[in-house]
Amino acid sequence: MRKIILSLVIGCLFCINIISQSFRVDFINALNARNMAKAEEVLKFWDLADSNDPDLYIAYFNFYTVKSMDASPMLITSGYDMKYSKQALDFITEGIERYPTRFDMRIAKLYMLRELKKYPDYISEIKKMIAYSQKIENNWKGEDYTTLPYAEDMFYGAVLDCQEFLFATGDTLFYKDIKKISEEMLKFYPNHVQSLLSCSTVYLAQNDYDKSFEALQKAIAMEPTNAILLYNIAYVYYVKGDKANAKKYFELTLTNCKDQEEKIKDAAQRRLDELK
């Protein structure tokens, strides 16, 4: 009797999954066609059929994100209507609270916060993701709650994207935030070379050469042939007036540059030419 009941339960779960997939396909098709009335109708039926489906939160987020873009007045520089973007954020925030291992939800929220230029919330969300990554040992989930392949690499890539975005703004006010993100990473991942490099770059921009050099030394001990690290070490020696060591590390940079690192190679060669 227990086997019969178990079989029935498994059968019901399978049916729910098939139904959810059908709603997902119908919703995506409607959204791609910008048929918002149809998309909203699918969402309502999907919600009634399986309100506990994690992908429903992603769907609601996408729905209100598109509505926000379509409804945005041309004078709004963010390109998003505030009312609908708030609804998108509310749904994805609730989704994260209920399904905290869903990596796509985290990325979706970061995307919207960045688009809306809500930078304090953006920084806070990155730090939450970093702390939670350590808690679950980067066992992130994707669609249908399957474990993501290369989840750790994807996580590292997401953090790097955040750091690079903040650097790319050119706003020195973000230096403290880049340091906070990097220090949060190093608290849980002390061997994360990219965060050491980010810290050293901030210190270098602030003319704190000793702290920059200290971070670079830790990083180069783990990746002794990293051309970017070698170049930065050479540059610290260069600005401090230590020509012999600057020349040594610019030469090491040239030796260790990969084919795709032509810009670093050219920069190192120019510095060497100056030091002749």
What domains can you pick out in the chain, each with its CATH number?
190-276 (1.25.40.10)
Q: How does pLDDT run across 217-248, given as a tens digit for each residue? A: 999 999 999 999 999 999 999 999 999 999 99
204/10 Cα distance (integer angstroms):
59
Whether 179 contacts 172, CB under 8 Å: no
Residue 146 CB partners (closer than 8 Å, separation 6+): none
Average pLDDT over residues 10-14: 36
Q: How far apart are CA 93 and CA 12, in angstroms?
A: 29
Residue type, 2: R
List pLDDT tens digits, range 188-197: 999 999 999 9
**Measured distance CA(68)–CA(87) in Å, rounded:** 9
d(CA 187, CA 185): 5
Q: What whole-number distance in Å separates Cα of residue 237 and Cα of residue 250?
A: 10
Q: Residue 33: how many CB atoms within 10 A of its CB?
A: 10
Q: Rounded mean pLDDT of 253-263?
A: 92
φ/ψ of residue 119, rounded to 5: -65, -40
The answer to whether the beta carbons of residues 246 and 266 sit under 8 Å apart is no
Residue 184, pLDDT score: 96
Strand partners, 147: 141
Please tell me the predicted confidence (pLDDT) of residue 144. Answer: 74
In this predicted model, which residue has the larger pLDDT, 23 or 267? 267
Size (the chain), residues: 276
Q: How confident is the model at residue 67 (pLDDT cuts 50, 70, 90)?
A: very high
Extract the tokens encoding 93.
């925030």
Mean pLDDT of 135-161: 92
Is the pLDDT confidence value at 256 over 60? Answer: yes
Confidence (pTM): 0.84
